[in-house]
Structure formats: structure tokens, C-alpha cells
Structure 1
Amino acid sequence: MTGHIVVGVDGSAPASAAVEWAAADARQRGLDLKIVHVCERPSHGEDAAARAGMLKAAADRARELARGVEVSTELLAGTITKRLIGESAAADSLVLGSRGLGGFAGLVLGSVGLAVAGHAAGPVVIVRGSAQARQDRIVVGYDGSGHSEAAMTYAVGQARARYASLHVVSAWQMPAFSPYAIGYSRLLEDVIREQSAAARQRVAFWRERDPDLLITDEQPCEHPVSALIRAAATAELVVVGSRGQGGLAAAVLGSVSHGVLHHVTCPVAVVRPRTQEES
């Protein structure tokens, strides 16, 4: 992993918002910023000049917002998703707008963002709109899986860089019991107590590791997507693992991260654990 953030641009409003978010993130975390545009077809003349101008405008905006940050640009040729995923291998994180110019206006998240979030080597941040009012709170979904552990690590780093608090959501759903089973109410009470205690214990490790960071937590008995949407209302960033405990091994993007990406309006970071070769 190297000390730079990559942000993709295509001239769309969400991409411009992504540049602004990435520039601020690079400044807060002391990282360089690389702005890329992927061209799937050869460009010449006015088209090539327009693409170069777009990159320059994005770099000028980033430098204006994050003075002192080293900003570079690169025009890449090839398939958009493949080139962006390739860029993620050597980057701290990859930042994208929620939709590009090729998307349908009614879509919340474009196909490029969805594909890259599921396959990138590290964290992918999806930015929907222009910067929102500072909330001083990072929200992270945490279920103890390997992907959520990586999400916690990233969320802690973001909270520290932003001097923000960290709110941990460990939502879970009640397993199916027959209401006619003997001791049904006691079974429910036991499950609630055990699930809540296990979630609190997982968070206790992070409190002990980072005693100077304000960490709050909740263990709601509801669908994780619903719980994270609710918590996101007062967050400046929501962080989730690319898959959780309930995901199939073959799935690259779990139902929770997929649901959060489609419904949460603040920036969302989807974090996938890096392999030893990628680290």
C-alpha cells in the first residue's frame, strides 16, 4: 500500500464531488492525490484536448482545496472498471462519484461504482453529491467478520484524521423460532443477551486499543441496512466491509454493502481486506 489516494473523473457532477472529497481526505490524512480519467476509445483533436482540460480543471480544484498536497494526473486507456481496479492495488483508497455521465439519471449508483466497489484491492469511497455539513461522526458496520475488521481499521483511521467520534453499529437479526416452542420467550431473551454481549465485547477491544478515541456503539435487533441508514443520518462517512458474515463465499459485494450504497446519501466507504501480496 502506498501513500496516495486515487480519484476517478469523467466530467460529471458526482465526479467533481468525488475530487473535492478526495482532496480533503488527502489533506487530512497526509497523503498524495492522483486524479485519473479512463478513456475506452482513442481520442484525437478536440476530444483529446477536452479530456486533458477536464483533468487539469480537476487538479486545479484539488490544489485549491488542499494546499500542500501533491496532486498528479494521468489519462489511462482501456476498460474503465479494469483500469480503476488496477489503480486500487497500489493506492491507499479509490474515490468515485456515485454515477458517471453514462448512467441513467434515475440511478443512485452507477454500474462502474458498483463493479469497482466489489472488486477493488482496498477501500472504495463512493461520493454522491457535494460536501455536506460536517457531522464529526464516522459510522461503521461491524459484525466481527474479516471484512468488517478491515472496515473498523479504516474507520478508526478516518475518525482520528477528522478528529471525529466513531459510532459502531452491530446490527443482527433474530433467528427463526417456532412461537409454539417450549420456552419461546426465554429463548428470545437468551439470544438477545448473547448477541448483544458478543457485539459489545468486540467493540471493547477497540476501546482498549484506542482509549483516546470516542467510540459509541449499538446492537439493534434489525436488518443491518436499516440500522446503518438510520445511523447515517448524522454521519459524514459510513464504512462497511464488502461482505459480512452472511455473505456467500463467491459474492464480491454483500447485500449489506450493496443496500447501503444504494440508500445512504453521505459518502460510503466499502472496504475489502487486502491480501498479503497487496499490502
Structure 2
Amino acid sequence: MTRHIVVGVDGSAPAAAAVEWAAEDAQRRGSAVRIVHICEQWRYGSHGVEYCQGTLGAAADRVRALTRDVEVSTDLLIGNVVDTLIAESATADSVVLGSRGLGGFAEMLLGSVGLGVAGHATGPVVIVRGPSVVRHGQVIVGYDGSEHSEAAMLYAVDQARARGVPLHVVYAWQMPAFSPYAMAYSTMLSDLFEEETRAAAERVVPWREKNPDVTITDDQVTGHPVNALIQAGGTADLVVVGSRGLGGFASAVLGSVSHAVLHHLTCPIAVVRPRAK
């Protein structure tokens, strides 16, 4: 069965950008595109079906115009938008969404649908804010060795390979809080940082060995992971993060780092949850 990318559309500008991103990704990675529009029955009157079908048709035409030999299908679904997209993710390679849909507040960078799906979906969820105008030729991934970051690395390597660009791995270590008067801790903290950075660099080595066709660089910095990823993301075509890292609560569906990155970065962002084994 051909793997497929699900893209949700609602007629908004961010959704149109998501359609274009999904089309390019499908062309690069040999995937089919499944376009879905989800009608919540209470929102539509007698012309609802006509509007929904028109939205689907326009999106399908756009994918066909941007690709060659990519299989395109559409489906009009009824139900709760977030729950339906989460269900779609179970059999999809990835789910691609615009950052905000119709009815969202203009000042919000990320709508409730994107946040809800990114926190609960199976596999990668890509959030797209707008058309990609500038190509930087680099994929960034946050990697701390957790189960979720392992899944993020796998997707990031696949993306870098398909694009023919380098993959840059970012690891940020936050220095523990301590009293400025406790000078005896300075040497210990320095040693601890060296140990952390060495371990982070060593975690990347097997990925280079398994993927010799992909140029993989890495960087270890002192600071908050959010700041490190935002800074690195300024020159990225795609930033990939796990839905939760090592410091997250087990019950949290979306960690603080991925949550903050979704709200602050303007480039496409992939949030990846491990699939059930």
C-alpha cells in the first residue's frame, strides 16, 4: 500500500500553504496525498456540502498542478475536527495542517486544531504558517535521546535525505540553578556540562553511521532548548521536535519545548510522537 500524507483543508490561507507543503513533500518522498475537509454539522447550512466539496476540489487541483504522478484523493468527513484528524493519523505517514483555520483569532500564531492534533496524533504532524518563500537548505532537529526525540530523528533524517540537504542536530543543556556564592560548584558544573555535551555528541554518531548519504552535523549549547531551537530555526526549511522530551511529565501529551516552538517559529514545524510498537 502506498504511504500517504493527510492534509486538512478549510479554505483558509494557512490551509492552502499546508496543501502546497504536502504536495512538495509527497513529490519528494513518493507518497500519495489524501485531502480531507471535516464538516462539523452545526456550522453549515443548506450550502454546506457545496462549500466543502468546492474546498476539496480546489485543494486537489492545486496538488495536481504542483506535482507529477502523485496520487491524489479527497474525502468529505463529518465529525469533530480534532478527533477526526487524530483518527486519520493512525494510518497516515504524516498529517499536515495550516497553523490557523477559519474562525481563528488573527493575532494567534497557532489555532486550537493544530495544537490539539499535534498533541495527540500518531506519528508526525506538520504545522505550516505560510508559503515557503526562502529556501535555506537545512533541516533542524531537537534531539535529547528520549523516545520521542528518537522518532523525531528518524523523520528528520528521512526529510533531509528526500530534500538532499544537511541535517543539523541541536541539543541544549540547562545549567542547574545554584547560588552565585557557591563558587565550589563552578568546577563541578563545568565537568557536568562537558559530560553532557560529550554524551549528546556520541548519541549522534550511530545516526551518521546508519545514514552515510545524509550530512549530519550537531551542536551542543548551554541554554534553554526553546531558545536554541528558535535561533537555529531561523535558517531552517523545517524544524523537527519530539512531542515530549526527557524533562516532560509522562501524562503531558505535548511538552513545553514543542509547545513553545510551535508558538514562536514561523518555518514549518514537525511534531513527532512515537508510533505504538
TM-score (norm 2): 0.97
Contact 2:161–2:213 (CA<8 Å) still a contact in 1? no
Which position in structure 1 is the counterpart of 2:212? 211
Contact 1:2–1:92 (CA<8 Å) still a contact in 2? no
Measure, in 2, the Cα distance between the counterparts of 1:197 and 1:2.
40
Contact 1:92–1:123 (CA<8 Å) still a contact in 2? yes
Would you say 1:22 and 2:12 are equivalent positions? no
Following TM superposition, the consecutive aligned residue runs of length 4 or more in structure 1 with deviations greater than 4 angstroms are: 42-45
Which position in structure 2 is the counterpart of 1:32? 32
The 10-residue stretch of structure 1 (38-47 or 127-136) with the greater mean CA deviation from structure 2: 38-47
* One-letter identity of the residue aligned with 1:175: P
Shift of 1:192: 1.4
Shift of 1:2: 6.0
Contact 2:27–2:67 (CA<8 Å) still a contact in 1? yes
Which position in structure 2 is the counterpart of 1:138? 139
Which position in structure 2 is the counterpart of 1:229? 230
Measure, in 1, the Cα distance between the counterparts of 2:45 and 2:103.
20
Which position in structure 2 is the counterpart of 1:262? 263
Matches within 5 A, 1:103-182: 103-181=104-182
Measure, in 1, the Cα distance between the counterparts of 2:117 and 2:130.
19
Which position in structure 1 is the counterpart of 2:80? 79
Unaligned segments of structure 2, at least 5 residues: none
Matches within 5 A, 1:170-209: 170-181=171-182, 183-209=184-210
Cα distance per residue 1:182-201 (max 9 Å; x no partner): 62221121011111101100
Measure, in 2, the Cα distance between the counterparts of 1:2 and 1:119.
24
Cα distance per residue 1:28-77 (max 9 Å; x no partner): 00000000000010656432112111100000000100121000000000
Which position in structure 2 is the counterpart of 1:91? 92
Aligned-CA RMSD value: 1.3
Cα distance per residue 1:151-182 (max 9 Å; x no partner): 00000000000001000001110112333446
SS of residue paired to 1:170: strand
* One-letter identity of the residue aligned with 1:155: A
Contact 2:137–2:166 (CA<8 Å) still a contact in 1? yes
Contact 2:173–2:193 (CA<8 Å) still a contact in 1? no
Unaligned segments of structure 1, at least 5 residues: none
SS of residue paired to 2:47: helix
SS of residue paired to 1:161: helix
TM-score (norm 1): 0.96
Determine what percentage of the aligned residue pairs are the same residue: 66
Contact 2:2–2:32 (CA<8 Å) still a contact in 1? no
SS of residue paired to 1:220: strand
Measure, in 2, the Cα distance between the counterparts of 1:133 and 1:234.
9
* One-letter identity of the residue aligned with 1:165: P
Shift of 1:14: 0.1
Measure, in 1, the Cα distance between the counterparts of 2:126 and 2:213.
26
Q: How many residues align?
A: 276
Measure, in 2, the Cα distance between the counterparts of 1:182 and 1:70.
64
Shift of 1:212: 2.4
Cα distance per residue 1:112-157 (max 9 Å; x no partner): 0000000001100000011232211000000000000000000000
Contact 2:140–2:239 (CA<8 Å) still a contact in 1? yes
Measure, in 2, the Cα distance between the counterparts of 1:93 and 1:105.
26
* One-letter identity of the residue aligned with 1:41: Q
Contact 1:156–1:166 (CA<8 Å) still a contact in 2? yes
Measure, in 1, the Cα distance between the counterparts of 2:133 and 2:87.
30
